[in-house]
Amino acid sequence: MAHLLMVESWVGSMSRLLPRAIREAGHEFTFLTRDLHHYLRSAPEGTAHPLLGARHVLTADTNDTEAVLRFVGRAHDAFGFDGVITSCDYYLPTAARIAGRLGLPGNAPEAVEAACRKDATRRILADAGVPGPRFAVCGDWADASGAARRIGYPLVLKPVDLCAGMYVRRVDDEEQLAGAFRALAEFPVNARGQRRAPVVLLEELLDGPEVSVETVSSGGTVHVVGVTDKSIGGAPAFIETGHMFPAALTPADAEAARETAVMALRALGLHTAVSHTEIKLTADGPRVVEVNPRPAGNRITELVRHVTGIDLAAACVDVALGREPDLRRQDTGLRSAAIAFLVPDTGGVLEGVDGADEVRAAPDVLELQVAEAGRTVKAAGSNNEYLGHVMAGDADGLGARGRAEILLSALSPKVVSR
C-alpha cells in the first residue's frame, strides 16, 4: 500500500475518479487544501464527497508555495508520502515542486510550470520547431493592438493561465479585440484566489478539426493511448460541445497528431505524466493548441476506458508513484464512445430538464447527467456552464458521436428568467 499526497483537485469528475483509482489500487491518500468547503459544496445533498475518503485532510495555504513546502515537509516527516498528485491545473506546478522537494517521482518543476503557462509553452515549442500558430505575448493594449496588426485578423485572444476555455475569444477586428481585452482585464483573480499573470496571448486563428492526444509518459517512453476528436461551439467563445474516442480520422491524420503530441511533450520535458495535448489539423499540417500535463477532463478518460479498458486515472496514480502503468487494451465490446454536453444559451433559473427519463432508458446510453432544478444558469462562455451530458457507445464502429448527439437533442432544459 502506498500513501499519496493529493494537492487540491478539480471539483468535477476527476475529484471522484482519482480517489476511486487510489482506493481500487489498494492505496490511500492525504488531501491537502486551502478550502475544504470548495469541494463539499459540489457534492449532492446528503452524500459524502469522495475526497473525504482521505486518510487525512490537511488545511494549508496552497497558494503560498514556500509556506506549503514547509508545511508538507513536516507532514511528510509525520505521515510519509510515496507520491504527489493533483488533477487541478492551478496546482500542478505546486505538486511538482513538492515532489521535487521530497525526492518523489515527477517532472522537473520548471517543465510543469512552462506547460501550465500558455505563453511559455508557445515559446518553448517554437524554439524546438514544434508546429504551432503565429503568436504574440502582450503586456498592455498598445502591445496587443500592434501585434494584432502584424499577425492579422481573425485572431484568438487567450489568457495565459486560465482553464476550461475561460475568456478565450475569437476576434475579427480591433473593436472585438478591445472588448475581449477589457473583459479579461476585469478578471484579475481566478476561482482559487490566485492572481492572474497580467499578459494576454494572441494567436492566429487555426482552421481545421481539433483533436486531443491522450498519452502516458513513464520510464523514458511516451505511450500514445489514442486520439479524441471534439466539436466546438459558442462563437466567439470556444466551448467544447462534445468528444468522441477514437477520433474519426484517416490513418495519416491520426499518426500526424500522435507524432506532433510526442514532439511537444519531449520539447517541454514532460517525461513523467498522463497528458492531454490539443491539436488542430490544418491544411498545412497539425498545429499544437496547448499541452496539459494531467489527464483529460470532460469525461474523456471515461470514453477511453469504455473503448479500450485503459484507466487513465489509475495510470496517473501509477505514474505519480514511479510505477509502470498497465496500458494493455481489452476488448470492451465497444468500438467508439462519445459524450455530448448540454450547453445553455440563455440565463435564468433551471426548472428542470425534460426528456431525461426517456434518454436514460434508451439503448447505448453509458451515462446521463443533468443539473438539479433550482440551479442558477448563465449563457455559456466557457466549459464551466454545462447543464449536463449524455454519453453513448457504439459496438460496431464510429457511430457513437451521432448517437450521443441524437440523445442530447431529446433533452430540453427549462430555464426561466429571474
The confidence score (pLDDT) of residue 43 equals 67
Task: Please give the mean pLDDT across all residues of the chain.
Answer: 96
Interval 84-124: pLDDT, tens: 999 999 999 999 999 999 999 999 999 999 999 999 999 99
Closest alpha carbon to 179 in 169, 187, 188, 189: 169
What is the DSSP code string of 179-203?
HHHHHHHT--B-TTSPBPPS-EEEE
Alpha-helical regions (H) of 45-132: 65-79, 92-102, 109-115, 118-128
Superfamily holding 133-204: ATP-grasp fold, A domain (3.30.1490.20)
The confidence score (pLDDT) of residue 220 equals 87
CA distance 84 to 76: 11
Per DSSP, the three-state class of 367 is: strand
CA distance 272 to 265: 10
| CATH architecture of the domain with range 335-418 | Alpha-Beta Complex (3.90)
Instruction: Encode the chain (418 residues) as per-residue pLDDT tens digits.
Output: 999 999 999 988 888 999 999 999 999 999 999 999 888 877 666 677 889 899 999 999 999 999 999 999 999 999 999 999 999 999 999 999 999 999 999 999 999 999 999 999 999 999 999 999 999 999 999 999 999 999 999 999 999 999 999 999 999 999 999 999 999 999 999 999 999 999 999 999 999 999 999 999 998 899 999 999 999 999 999 999 999 999 999 999 999 999 999 999 999 999 999 999 999 999 999 999 999 999 999 999 999 999 999 999 999 999 999 999 999 999 999 999 999 999 999 999 999 999 999 999 999 999 999 999 999 999 999 999 999 999 999 999 999 999 999 999 999 999 998 7
Residue type, 31: F
CATH 2.30.40.10 applies to domain 207-332: no
CATH code that applies to domain 3-104: 3.40.50.20
Domains 3-104 and 133-204 belong to one CATH topology: no
Interval 212-242: pLDDT, tens: 999 999 988 999 999 999 999 999 999 999 9
Interval 266-293: pLDDT, tens: 999 999 999 999 999 999 999 999 999 9
Q: Specify the DSSP element, H or E, that contains 341.
A: strand 336-341
CA distance 91 to 56: 19
For the entire predicted model, the pTM comes to 0.96
**CB 8 within 8 Å of CB 98:** no
CA distance 192 to 162: 11
CA distance 243 to 300: 7
| Grid coordinates belonging to 409 | 437533442
Q: In what order do the strands lie in the sheet with 348-354?
A: 376-377, 348-354, 412-416
CA distance 91 to 96: 9
CA distance 38 to 102: 27
Q: Where are the domains of the chain?
A: 3-104, 133-204, 207-332, 335-418
Which residues have a Cβ under 8 Å from the Cβ of 170 and sit 6 or more positions away?
154, 155, 156, 176, 205, 235, 236, 237, 238
